Amino acid sequence: MSILLIVLLPLIASLLPGILSKYVKGIHTGYFVLIVPVIASFYFISLIQSVLSAPIIKHYSWMPSIGLNFDIRLDGLALLFTLLISIIGSLVVFYSIHYLHKDEALGRFYTYLLLFMGAMFGVVTSNNVLSLYLFWELTSISSFLLISFWYHKQKSTDGALKSMLITVFGGLMMLGGLSILIGITGTPVISEIMAQATKIHAHPLFMLAVVLILLAAFTKSAQFPFHIWLPDAMEAPTPVSAYLHSATMVKAGIYLIARFTPLFAVSNVWTYAIVIVGLFTMCFASIKAVNQIDLKGILAFSTVSQLGLIMSLLGIGSLSFKAGHETLYYIAVTAAVFHILNHASFKGALFMLVGIIDHETGTRNIHKLNGLMFIMPITFTLTTLGVLSMAGVPPFNGFISKEMFLESVLLSTEHPMINTIVSSFILTLMFVGSLFTFIYSLKIIKDVFIPNNIKNNSEKKPHEAPVLFLLSPIILICVMLFISVFPDMFRPLLQSATSAIVSNNITLNHIHHFHGVNTPLIVTIAIIVIGSALLYFISKWQNVYQLWPEQLKLNNLYNFALDQSQKLSFEINRRLVYHSIRFSIASIFSTLLIITVYVFLKTDLSIYFESIANIRLYELILILIIVIATIMILKAQSRLFSIIMLSAIGYSIALLFVFFKAPDLALTQLSIETISTALFLMCFYHMPKKYRHAEEKKFKFTNVLIALSTGVIVSLIALVSYSNKHFTSISEYYIKNVYDLAAGKNMVNVILVDFRGFDTLFESSVLAIAGIGIYTLIRLRKTRGEQNEETTR
Amino acid sequence: MEILIIILSGILVAAGVYLILSKSLLRIIIGSSIISHAVNLLLLTSGTLKNAASPIFTGGNKQYVDPIPQALILTAIVISFAVTAFFLVLAFRSYKELGTDNVADYKGVPDDE
């Protein structure tokens, strides 16, 4: 079977749920949808053997002319991700069959979910940066649609908008970064870009590409300070939270970092940003998680924290890659890959279990839940197992990857490039992060399941969920336990994924549970002891959280920024658009002025006149009349006077035409001036008595300024263009041939109707349209629904 | 002569722009017709203003004034007349309907805030 077909299968299948949910009412649509991820899972599982020996590389043309093709590269890392996406996808679809009632808009839900699945397959298998970007944005869009699935809830749409704004911002940054890479290397194929690493490192835009791609990864993977969208995305249905916001989409940023590590690891910015931001996010989010009262809120911050952990491991990997510390490099990267796997297993299960608790009790508020231990024993057992793994308690898989994490961080502090201050900072972050991870993990058990003296006041009467509903988390927890017991079974997969990241074939040592008594183990024991003590006395110190000022919360900052930008753009709009017409006209003229003045300053233009006509007395008198009439109009206080002055100008110009040997013009001008004056006078009685409206002084001044400078500029342009005539006129041709070719003696008329007859045709159309327009303006009157009486008159 | 006509056109344009920037509709219309006069004069100047024969063919090798700008101006006059007439009736109608000819009062309804 073609690998492209499998990658695109969810996208193609996404056309069907809408139809199925409409016409097949008897069976839950989810059962049909389930087929897709199951097929994909089996397909990818069957590929494991061949990928472990060599990556699968395929090329399918799509838009070769712009380099956008389906270049598929399935190496160990991509395979790990496709397995996660398809297997957890199958479990989530199965879980959602029980979670979502048949009354819900199932067609919509599964369409979005399949779109997301296909997009995610595309992201991880793309060997082409353009298709990578395309699928990347498709994950943002489908995530947006899924978060706002219950769109009648304000919180859902707000959360969806927030996640959209932040992740699309990151996506656009990524497009910039990837474009730089294409620009430098001239190819959109990732493996070819990687091959030209030295060329890229030498390029001046290299640093910009690093920053842009970091931004993309940090926004998608919810790293500080872009993590704020993830807790709000918890308004999505729980299967969505389990799938997108814990196991798959949020790891796209991790994937991006891992994919480009060999290319960017030489950069200090890249390395330090990932280590510091990752560790800080881990620490910050785990502290925040302790204070949440919504179960999904705790898990959301926990996800942010664990993503930070994985991110920092990749950063340590880059650090040692750069310094040539090979052992540490492999340990850190393997730990990252291993934790991706572990986190997907326990976090997916925990989200599903929280969804079950929500479904069976009607609330996710930890203050309303209590003592579910005996009422929901299976849920309790599964949650406890998941939570212990999350806390990093032996003998679960979370413990193994946590040990590897601690070991990497401890080793990295011995690194020559890290001084004491940075290393103590890193160690503090690591310790506090791990400590609070332990606290919030165990707090879930303590608050929800262990009975205490507060009365249980959930909205429904709680009872254990049906077995089929529990099946998906059971499978995930079993997988988790399997990894815990036989971590070494997964070594080939991890080895392959690590090799893909470090682009070097490596052999990993046996993955042990127990390395003997060493520093990481002591740290773990310390965390368990101190964590348990802190958890026991939690009511004593939890008030500390209220000390953080409300204004400085990132969500408030985000809301403030959003609000202000809206206000600002509205204000600009109001000032520019709703302002008076005068303002618009003035800005048009000012723009004209500025541009012409700029051109005049840039080019040296000469003004000279070779042959000009003599000035004659009659013309001089006419010009004087025109100037006087113009001034009169400006000064006029009455309407009649200004209309008469306007016609004085018109008639004088007609006379000027006579002197300049333009008889046709003079005729036309005379008659048209007469008609215009008649029109003005006809409107005269209907026009308002008041001719002028008082202007403010400052407006008057700017008006004069703009008007004068426009006049000067127009004169200057005319003078310059008159001085720079470069060609002789084509009128010689008309003068010569007017009689021979067109059989007419009046040149102007022959030009109008013969040489350039089209102008005249459309000029008459203009006249006709104006006539029709005037007629309709006068005759047709309809004001809001009522037929005006004047139409019938 | 040409320089004089060009300066005259500049004065007319300045006056026209000033009138267009004012608030009364009638003044705006007058301003736009003044500007079209100025443009016609400029067009004519772009030909020649020298003392030559009218563009009526009488045979022989005489010097004629340039007929092309004249044809262009003729078209322009008619079009500007059509526009002015339409504009005038529009002003008249909007005064009747809206009760004011002060363009400062002509404001769109702002979108909901």
pLDDT tens per residue across span A364-394: 888 887 777 778 888 888 888 898 888 888 7
Question: Does B33 sit within 8 Å of A646, measured CB to CB?
Answer: yes
- What is the pLDDT at residue A459? 59
DSSP A510: P
% residues pLDDT > 70 (chain A): 92
Output the six-digit token pair for B52: 């030559």
**Which residues, numbered 18 to 77 in chain B, qualify as contacts with chain A under a Cβ-Cβ cut-off of 8 Å?**
18-24, 26-27, 30, 33-34, 37-38, 40-42, 44-59, 64-68, 70-71, 73-75, 77
Question: Does A669 sit within 8 Å of B77, measured CB to CB?
Answer: yes
Question: Does A687 sit within 8 Å of B95, measured CB to CB?
Answer: yes
% residues pLDDT > 70 (chain B): 93
Q: Is the pLDDT of residue B13 over 70?
A: yes
What confidence tens digit (pLDDT) does each residue in A782-793 have? 655 544 444 443
What confidence tens digit (pLDDT) does each residue in A613-633 have? 778 888 899 999 999 999 999
Dihedral in degrees, nearest 10, Cα atoms A416, A421, A423, A428: 180
Q: Is the pLDDT of residue A550 over 70?
A: no
Q: Is the pLDDT of residue B38 over 90?
A: yes
CA-angle at B78, arms to B76 and B83, nearest 5°: 90
The shortest CB-CB distance from B9 to any of A585, A715, A778 is to A715
What confidence tens digit (pLDDT) does each residue in B58-110 have? 877 778 888 899 999 999 999 999 999 999 888 888 888 777 777 777 766 55
- What is the pLDDT at residue B111? 53
What confidence tens digit (pLDDT) does each residue in A402-434 have? 888 888 888 777 766 667 777 788 888 888 888
The shortest CB-CB distance from A613 to any of B49, B77, B92 is to B49
% residues pLDDT > 90 (chain A): 23
- What is the pLDDT at residue A791? 45
Q: How confident is the model at residue B113 (pLDDT cuts 50, 70, 90)?
A: very low
Alpha carbons A201 and B44: distance in angstroms, whole number: 64
Mean pLDDT to the nearest integer, A469-493: 83
Of A145-159, A407-421, A580-594, A697-711, the range with the lowest mean pLDDT is: A407-421
Q: Position A401: which residue type?
A: S
Residues in chain A with CB shorter than 8 Å from the CB of B19 are: 633-634
Question: Does A714 sit within 8 Å of B13, measured CB to CB?
Answer: yes
Neighbours of A523 (CB within 10 A): 21
Average pLDDT for chain A: 84
Question: Does A763 sit within 8 Å of B78, measured CB to CB?
Answer: yes
Alpha helices in B1-113 (DSSP H): 2-20, 25-46, 67-98
DSSP per residue, A105-172? -HHHHHHHHHHHHHHHHHHHHB-BHHHHHHHHHHHHHHHHHHHTSSTTSHHHHHHHHHHHHHHHHHHH
Question: Does B57 sit within 8 Å of A735, measured CB to CB?
Answer: yes
Query: Is A457's Cβ below 8 Å from some Cβ in B?
Result: no
Instruction: From residue A335, give the alpha-carbon distance in Å to each of A78, A80, A425, A508, A509.
Output: 17, 14, 21, 11, 12
Strand runs labelled E in A238-365: none
Among A773, A765, A692, A774, residue whose Cα is nearest residue B31: A692
The shortest CB-CB distance from B86 to any of A734, A763, A770 is to A770
The shortest CB-CB distance from B4 to any of A623, A650, A693 is to A623
Output the six-digit token pair for A8: 């695109």
